[in-house]
Amino acid sequence: MVKEDFGPHFEWGVSSAAFQTEGAWDADGKGPSIWDVFTNRKGKIKGAQHACTACNFYYGYQQDIAWVRKLNIPNFRFSIAWPRVFPKGVGKPNLKGLDFYNRVVDGCLEQGITPWVTLYHWDLPQALQEKGGWTNRDILSWMEEYAGYVVSRLGDRVKRWMVLNEPAVFTGAGYFFGVHAPGLTGVRNFFPAAHHAALAMGRIGRLIRSEVQNGEVGTTFSCSSIHPASSRRRDVDAAIRADALINRLFIEPVLGLGYPTADLKALAAIEKYMQAEDEKALPFDFDFIGIQNYTREVVASSPFVPYLQARLVPAIKRKVPAITAMGWEVFPPAIYEMIKKFSSYPNIPKLIVTENGAAFADTVLDGQVKDAERKQYLIDHLAQVLRAKQDGLNVHGYFVWTLTDNFEWAEGYHARFGLVHVDFDTQQRIVKDSGKWYRTFLSR
């Protein structure tokens, strides 16, 4: 497999996110985000770790952009920390915060790297959470104010935009299970948050399109291929319900197909938050859809699980041959299945794999990180992307998650996903064998 097999226009990149890398949590007028608050709550993050410094990207961004170039990666996806630009969420912008992103964008362009910017990768300003965050419909106008400002200042140079990162994860983990910020639970938080996130995609998508000349507007979705635990009817039905929740809940309203209530009846409760104009406001014709896949899920019927009546059978219990530091099964065909699933929707001009990668426990030995498992994971997943491409499916790009090891949310720092190893005490970087492999692969 060589790069040329994917064709001359295939987009190659690497992805990252503000909260996971920047640190400088209160520098230069930045306001607190829900993650700054959540990481200080007892028992929420493994090892009580926090992201006050993280990878020090705020101060060392030039060095990390230089790594992107040294690895021959033409596209760098990063996100904007909303509370850096609007410390209180709305109102007076913080020019120093915006200026940081001006420097990052210019730094990319100077190195010949195309910046791809995500507007929301989970770090909502705490001031807005105090008004309900994503459960409050006003989030739409708050985000419009933030996005309008950022896009009007960076849109002359940034042409690739993504509205949200993985709405299913930040609403599910943050507003239903309470394991991510802001730590809220239950359907009375999840349903309004989900509906407002779905509406935000169209609303902000339209705004970007009107502001940015020659831009491409996208948004990204987490997805896992869903396999029933057995061929019994009840497990097959449970898998259909889980698929509706995990893979279909956000893409289908955006495509004008509505919420997948026929396959997951509990979703009908979202109706309560629908207003007259919403049906028309939900769809938006994105230029590209980002899909982010890491594994598959095996699903069994479970009558005692509320709403879903289904449970995910953990990889560890299934005794799978390979498992990552996140406890996720290594299952490369999943990415092919997801590309196939999303390609089957009408009206998606192009799919880009905006995240794929793996966390493994790395060791530094004689100044080297020989991460054979991660390298093999990437090769095997790319082979599946190529298979999808050769089958005529609609995939046009691939971004590795992620450039440097970073703060993996509730998992803290133990789950290392980077192509470049980070010593979090000294901030020293060492390119891993997987990074060297990607560099060689991209250099041809």
Q: How far is the CB of 416 from ligand IFM (least distance, A)?
A: 11
Contact in structure between 285 and 230 (CB atoms under 8 Å) = no
166 included as an active-site residue = yes
User: Using the rule CB under 6 A, which residue among 166, 243, 371, 373 binds ligand IFM?
Assistant: 166
Beta bridge partners of 329: 323
Q: Which of 238, 338 has the CB closer to ligand IFM?
A: 338
User: Using the rule CB under 6 A, which residue among 56, 94, 135, 292 binds ligand IFM?
Assistant: 292
Give the whole-angstrom CA distance, residue 52 versus residue 180.
17
Q: How far is the CB of 215 from ligand IFM (least distance, A)?
A: 23
Site string for ligand IFM, 400-429 (x = CB under 6 A): -x------x---------------------
Please report whether residue 297 would count as binding ligand IFM according to CB under 6 A.
Answer: no
Please report whether residue 223 would count as binding ligand IFM according to CB under 6 A.
Answer: no
Sign of CA dihedral 153, 254, 395, 376: positive
Please report whether residue 437 would count as binding ligand IFM according to CB under 6 A.
Answer: no
User: Using the rule CB under 6 A, which residue among 6, 13, 14, 17 binds ligand IFM?
Assistant: 17
Pull the structure tokens for residue 165: 């990162």
- Catalytic-labelled residue, pool 252, 355, 373, 408: 355
Give the whole-angstrom CA distance, residue 77 versus residue 21.
12
Q: In this structure, what DSSP letter does residue 4 have?
A: G
For the residues of 76-102, what is the DSSP string, one character each? EEEE--HHHHSTTSSSS--HHHHHHHH
Q: Which residues contact 196 (CB under 8 A, 6 or more apart)?
A: 134, 135, 136, 137, 139, 140, 273
430 closest CA partner among 63, 21, 54, 77: 63
- Catalytic-labelled residue, pool 11, 166, 252, 329: 166
Q: Which of 86, 328 has the CB closer to ligand IFM?
A: 328
Q: How far is the CB of 230 from ligand IFM (least distance, A)?
A: 28
12-to-213, 334, 362, 444 alpha-carbon distances in Å: 23, 20, 24, 13
Site string for ligand IFM, 116-155 (x = CB under 6 A): ----------------------------------------
Q: How far is the CB of 236 from ligand IFM (least distance, A)?
A: 28
Contact in structure between 225 and 298 (CB atoms under 8 Å) = no
Q: Which of 20, 135 has the CB closer to ligand IFM?
A: 20
Residue nearest to ligand IFM (CB): 17
355 included as an active-site residue = yes
359 burial via Cβ count (<10 Å: 0-12, 13-18, 19+): buried
Q: How far is the CB of 404 from ligand IFM (least distance, A)?
A: 12
Q: Which of 301, 356 has the CB closer to ligand IFM?
A: 356
Give the whole-angstrom CA distance, residue 192 versus residue 139.
11
Binding site for ligand IFM (CB under 6 A): 17, 20, 166, 292, 355, 401, 408
Q: Which residues are catalytic?
A: 166, 355
